[in-house]
A = this chain, B = another copy of it.
Amino acid sequence: MKVASIGLGLIGGSFALALQEHVLEVEIWGIDHNQAHIEAALARKIIHHKGSIDDLKNFDLIVLSIPVDAASALLPEILHQAEKECLVIDMGSTKNDVCEAVKNHVKRNQFLALHPIAGTEFSGPKAAFASLFNNAMMIVCEAEKTDENLKKKAYQILQKLKMQLHFMSPKEHDKHLAYVSHLSHVSSFMLGKTVLDLEKNEGEIFNLAGSGFESTVRLAKSNSKTWIAIFKQNKAEVLTSLKEYQQNLKEFEKLLETNQFSELENLLNSTSRIKEILAKK
């Protein structure tokens, strides 16, 4: 199987490694506007050859793992170049814009919109590893719009990668992900900023930070370009979730400020189901 992997970051790089581990006879051409990524991906044998975005004929599979704004912009032309038997998949963290971008495309049925629920706070081909997708969930959007044979091929590959398929609409996807992923990133970035602001006056404050702080700001290490694109594409849902989060913080503040401690305890206890939920994961 000849594969073009466009985008050689954590996701694209890990997917290329996983393909090599689980799918027989895979040959991968890597494409990335960052030359250092190409070199690192060749050195780590994530890819076999350097490819070109202007030469996408003769592939069986084209994998798009680039920032979501670039994916929406480039997908129509990529799909245009894809030959009849070629499947094009995208792995971005938002799904509505990319599906909109090709909804009337003459080759719409060669595209499958995916989002793996897997990642780390690290980025680039050096952060890639083959087992990233093992047992992870893969969200599939608008599956009904993809050609049956190409879809079958995709599912066979994802099954070999031990991924669990979960089907939903792009709108539903973007709403839910705003709450369980994008909001966590906003929270982490701004928590990091709040403490960095204090550090300007208070010196070595980070010496005092324990594992709890580390856990809540871990996502602030994420790539800002990747995340700006996600916040931009999912603006409405991110803003809705952020407003609700701020209302809850305001409620906490009000109860503490006015010494309503038993109500504050009720508020904390109302989140206790999180224990069971995380225990199951």
* Least distance between A103 CB and chain B CB atoms (Å): 23
Chain A positions 72-126 with a Cβ under 8 Å from a chain B Cβ:
117-121
Q: Is the interface of A mostly helix, strand, loop or mixed?
A: helix
Interface centre among A190, A220, A269 (most CB of B within 10 A): A190
Residues A274 and B220 in contact, CB atoms below 8 Å apart: yes
B278–A221 contact, CB under 8 A?
yes
Q: Tell yes or no: A35 within 8 A of B by CB.
A: no
A29 within 8 A of B: no
A267 touches which of B193, B244, B245, B278 (Cβ 8 Å):
B193
Interface membership of A46, Cβ < 8 A: no
A188 within 8 A of B: yes
Distance of A181 from chain B, by nearest CB (Å): 6
- Supply 20 further A-B pairs (C-beta < 8 A) apart from A119-B210, A190-B249, A194-B244: A137-B208, A177-B208, A179-B205, A180-B195, A180-B206, A181-B208, A181-B212, A186-B249, A187-B191, A193-B248, A206-B281, A209-B281, A212-B218, A217-B278, A224-B268, A225-B265, A228-B268, A232-B261, A235-B256, A246-B246
- List residues of chain A with CB under 8 Å of any chain B CB: 117-121, 136-137, 139, 166, 175-177, 179-181, 183-198, 202, 205-221, 224-225, 227-228, 231-232, 235, 238-239, 241-246, 248-250, 252-253, 256-257, 259, 261, 264-265, 267-275, 277-278, 281
